[in-house]
Amino acid sequence: MTKAAALRARSGWRYRGNVALRTLAGTVGAYAVAALAAMLLARTLPMGRLEAVTVATMLSYLFAPAVTVWAFLARGPWVALGGVIVLSALLAGLVWTSGGFA
């Protein structure tokens, strides 16, 4: 592939859509996963309420960059978006079974 063909491929709507979906999964999806992980950990950690919320919030900061990196390393943009949605649904179900949303 020549340099001009590579530049044309990067300026097309497919490439821009690919980047847009991955960015959506890596930002909004990462925030949702981190928030749900914090809720789940705050409800399930075996310590006092204040300590559990503090530790859960600090641990949830590890989820956001991991989800963002995974969204850009996934095989395709729909795989990235689907993976984030499935992970969010799984965490939401675990939060729901651990006592519901408060």
pLDDT, one tens digit per residue, over 60-102 is: 999 999 999 999 999 999 999 999 999 999 999 999 998 877 6
* pLDDT bracket for residue 12 (50, 70, 90): confident
Chain Cα centroid distance, residue 15: 21
Tally the domains of the chain: 1
Mean pLDDT for the stretch of residues 28-48: 95
Mean pLDDT for the stretch of residues 3-26: 80
| 34: CB partners within 8 A, 6+ apart | 60, 61, 63, 64, 67
Q: What dihedral angle (degrees, nearest 10) is formed by the CA atoms of 22, 28, 34, 37?
A: -100
Write out the residue range of the structural domain in which residue 44 sits.
3-98
